[in-house]
Amino acid sequence: MNVEDVKRITLQSKQEKWSYPKTFQALVEAGVTSYRTEVANHRTTYSGNGVDYIEEILPSFTRVEVSTIFHKDAVKYALEHHQKFNTPYENFLKDIASAGVSYYLVDMANRVITYTSGKADETYIQSIPK
């Protein structure tokens, strides 16, 4: 994984408001094999080829409260709403936090995102289209 490329991609994708498929593909090309985002504080750890890079949390980011009750249907609704209306990412994080998502894991090779409370039986898995 090329950490400098990942830094550039994450910065540029936010500034230029890239679509998720474009960001996903650029991260794959930079050697990212997976990443994990903590919803409450937006801490994201990118991994690839034995290297980890933790993205700095923006000072402007407001910490969100994660519900202790997981609602799978609310996670699905938040995803659909975000994709359909292209809502700001911060709003999406608030919505999935309200649905009980503590973190999400992105598996680049299998093209899936797992949204979870951290408990094995409390997950929602989304496929990433090609």
Give the domains, in start order, of the chain with CATH numbers.
3-127 (3.30.1810.10)
Which of 19-23, 37-41, 119-123 is predicted least confidently?
19-23
- Look-up of token digits 């797992």: 114
CA–CA gap between residue 118 and residue 44 (Å, rounded): 16
34: nearest Cα among 49, 20, 22, 12: 49
Q: Are strands 34-38 and 103-107 parallel, antiparallel or unpaired?
A: antiparallel
89: nearest Cα among 10, 32, 31, 34: 10
* pLDDT tens track for 24-81: 999 999 999 999 999 999 899 999 999 999 998 877 778 999 999 999 999 999 999 9
Model pTM score = 0.92
